[in-house]
Chain A
Amino acid sequence: MKRVKNYINGEWVDSKTKEFGEVWCPATGEKIGEVPFSTAEDIDQAVQAAKKAYWEWRCTPPLTRARYFFKLKDLFENAFEDISRILVTEEGKTLDESRGEVRRMIENVEHATGVTTLMTGYNLEDIAQGIDCTAERQPIGVFGVIAPFNFPAMVPWWFLPYAVVCGNTYIVKPSEQVPMTQTRIFEVIDECGFPEGVINMVHGAKDAVNGMLYHPDIKGISFVGQSSTARYVYKACGETGKRVQSLGGAKNFVLVMPDAEIDRHMPSMITSFYGCAGERCLSGSVLVAVGDVYKELKEKFIAAAKALKVGNGLQEGVQMGPVVSKKHREKVLGYIEKGIKEGAKLILDGRHIKIDGHPDGFFVGPTVFDEVHPDMTIAKEEIFGPVVSLIHVKNLDEGLKLIENSEYGNATCLYTTNGKTAREFKYRAVASMMGINLGIAAPMSFFPFGGAKGSFFGDIKGHGREVFQFFTDTKVVIQRWT
């Protein structure tokens, strides 16, 4: 049984805690490891190491810093399959999904190596007679990420490479549910040979989170998780004067117009709702049939959902794995019960799915509710599981109203063959990530990632060009030598 360690100042160290959590394989339901619930003292140890490493790292030329990441990219390629398999084992997603996630992690490393262009400031001569002005981007100090369970490899890397390549030092706190993937990733970091203290990792739960949020020497926090926690993180960082980008939950609407090419796009719709077992903030959750498309869409969607191969993600060919934990499975099942109680019609029931050879796995089969009313809980709250709510509306306006009324604004998608409809949707829908004839509107590393309304607290989002602003201060220097 593996008990993971913290990585502080270039060394693997035990936490000072006496409390440990359990790590499970969602496909088999077996305990596979233990994770320390690190204390604020552990966090402080990491912060002190990061603080000590900061100045020398900050003075290291950006190109030299980038070279560490070039090397790291190669090392990640070598460890690609290993990381992907560990990820499947502790999180439950399929191998393909896992590989896709690790790929996106690496893409962030690739993007960050553009620091010599992306971190530059700007200047203007003669802002007044004989006076020149420059705006220079400077690193700030110690930053950290508090990561969610659903993308254990990728999410910390929406932030880490940019922070570090800009000259900051860093602390990662992985989700206590899935600590092994990032531990394997840190083995690669260790092999890469970054200077001690530049990149650190502390495992843990609430105490570690609060240890980071309230530590006076941490200058900024990136968070990804559910909205209630995102709001808490945002407030705490406000109180302690930290920079913050706090990405919350989602309730994503997928609109299908009567002119949509349903057969062509059905695989994309299915992936949107059931990819990663619905455990992602970009997953479709409410399927909105606009006008006449309702009957055909419902029949074809149900047929495709039924055909999905559910099983252990390590088996090549499996299309949907289990949800992350027994507790989460119960939560998802609770939402299904609530849907039934509130009067929605359960037309595909995934509650009793049996997977050969995996009697104890945390599986929930593809589930679909029809006749869902926008006021029902399942139409409003984030379920984070393979449960689809089908709503029938008369026209695009009604569909847009659903999006507008949602407390979330993370992502939304539209299927249509009409450019005018697409333009109208793009123009009016209040969600920050949008797919047109695409079910997963996932910005790549060179575009910003983050939502609107209750899905995001802060202003500068994850990765993209903007993230260089989050990890640097703009120093304006005004000079007169004449």
Chain B
Amino acid sequence: MALTTFGAIMGFAAEMVGQSGNIYRNLVQQAKDHGLKETLQALSAEETKNHSLMEKTRRENVTEMILEPIAGLQKEDYEIDLKTEERMEDGDLVRIALALEEREKRFFSDASSKLPLPEAARIFRKIALRKQENITRLQNLGLNQTLKKSISA
């Protein structure tokens, strides 16, 4: 499905961060490593904040004068398998978190160049940068070597 309006992009962004937030809340329960648990909690809190930010951005930045059709963004390009198991190892949790952060980084980065509203575009760019920081943080988690290997695999 093509995301052809400001509202459709903002709606999808809100849905995406909401989805990630739900998954993080589940992952937090399963994490054994203390550092990983803390990171996942932080990511969960961040997504709650992002969700509010998306709604606020949609509400405050909609500009009737330039509600022009937007081209070049497909919802399907950002769909990933979001299935989680009831019992997962820490390595799996990190892999899922990385997939979520990478998906969002890609989406917010792509969409920022499509939005005709500078404030909304700025917020998207900022989130994309934050997502890159989160990716680095997840990759640098001080977990054991086996886990590191399984993440990189």
Contacts and interface: CB of A to CB of B under 8 A. Distances in A.
B45 interface: no
Interface residues of A, number: 28
A317 B3 contact: yes
Given A316-B5, A316-B7, A268 B62 contact: no
B82 interface: no
Contacts of A316: 5, 7-8, 11
A319 B5 contact: yes
Contacts of A270: 68-69
Interface of B: 1-8, 11, 58-60, 62-71
Contact of A99 (B1, B2, B7, B65): B7
Contacts of A308: 69
Contacts of A101: 64
B7 A440 contact: no
Which of B1, B11, B60, B67 is packed against the most chain A CB atoms within 10 Å? B67
A268 B68 contact: yes
A344 to B, nearest CB: 26
Nearest to B70: A267
Given A307-B69, A317-B4, 20 more contacts: A96-B7, A97-B64, A99-B58, A100-B62, A100-B64, A100-B65, A103-B64, A104-B64, A267-B70, A268-B66, A271-B67, A271-B68, A316-B11, A317-B8, A318-B5, A319-B4, A319-B69, A440-B64, A440-B66, A442-B64
A268 B69 CA distance: 8
A318 B6 CA distance: 11
A330 interface: no
A307 B72 CA distance: 13
Nearest to B60: A103
A62 B7 CA distance: 37
Contacts of B60: 103
19 contacts: A94-B5, A96-B6, A96-B7, A96-B8, A97-B67, A100-B63, A100-B64, A100-B65, A103-B64, A267-B68, A267-B69, A270-B68, A271-B69, A275-B67, A316-B8, A317-B1, A317-B4, A438-B65, A442-B65
A309 interface: yes
B59 A309 contact: no
B107 to A, nearest CB: 16
Interface in A115-154: none
Interface string A260-273: 00000001101100
Contacts of B5: 94, 96, 316-319
B62 A103 contact: yes
A80 B62 CA distance: 12
Contacts of A473: none
Contacts of A103: 59-60, 62-64
